[in-house]
Amino acid sequence: MLLKDRVAIVTGAAKGMGKGIAVRFAEEGCRVAIADIDLTKAQETAAEISAKGVEGLAFACDVTAIGQVSHVVEEVAKRYGRIDILVNNAGAIGNHFDIEDMPEEEWDRIIDLNLKSHFLFCKFVVPYMKKARYGKIIGISSIGAVLPPAHEINYNTAKGAIISFTYDLATALAQYGINVNCILPGPIKTHFYDGMLPGASEEEKEKVFANIGKKTPLQRIGTPEDIAGAALFLASELSSYVTGHALYVTGGLPLQPLAPAH
């Protein structure tokens, strides 16, 4: 097992990519604490993790609230004595606005959810990792950071900043044996698209996903399991000499697909 007896916090793991990461870590022997604003769904994920023979914990947490974040970190550290892995996955896209129409509060909300949350969890987790002289920190950015598929400037800006955050923190923490990397997911089949496809049937959604997938060189949309595999690599000793890296998990984007061979 690649993560046997390790302890991880995964934010936003009630569903989607975060859940995929949390479950995959558990399959490799890792105890996983889930921090998510949706406690009911987080508890369901924790139960799924516990069914695999390792402990799963669920915490109701607004990842933009410093008091709630510090509480989660303190409780996990108190229970296990250490925190080996942190995955800053929580995030969401907001309502669409052209920049000239965007309310200040909408800008702040999306920046806080997608970026400030990384700062807060690292602020409280890093001291435990420094003391242990070991740690794996993984941030979830987006292909939108470098190849915006739409004008979602608050979301894309936050995701771009996660890359810079990764480079800086990787440099600062390398002397403590802490690896800091980030993942740039491409199009991934999750609830992320629900707001863009209101009222669509499952068949209609599948057609949309198939069309999205055709825009990638690999000709398919990604899955939470694809992201989980990359996260497992970065969380394990397989990546012990990798830090300060932004890993594209995008089906080949920003490369463009060639015309089908005849």
Which residues are the active-site residues? 155
Which ranges in 32-95 belong to alpha helices (H)? Answer: 39-50, 66-80
What is the distance between the terminal CA atoms of the chain, rounded to a whole angstrom? Answer: 44
User: Residue 261's CB: how many other CB atoms inside 10 A?
Assistant: 4
Cβ neighbours of residue 52 under 8 Å, at least 6 residues apart? 23, 26, 27
Judge contact between 43 and 58, C-beta under 8 A. Answer: yes
Cβ neighbours of residue 11 under 8 Å, at least 6 residues apart? 18, 34, 35, 36, 61, 63, 87, 88, 89, 90, 117, 121
- Relative to beta strand 7-11, strand 85-88 is parallel
Which ranges in 133-223 belong to alpha helices (H)? Answer: 153-173, 202-213
Cβ neighbours of residue 171 under 8 Å, at least 6 residues apart? 244
- Region for 178 from its dihedrals, namely left if φ exceeds 0, alpha if ψ lies in -120 to 50, beta otherwise: beta
**Token duo for residue 40:** 């009911």
Judge contact between 3 and 236, C-beta under 8 A. Answer: yes
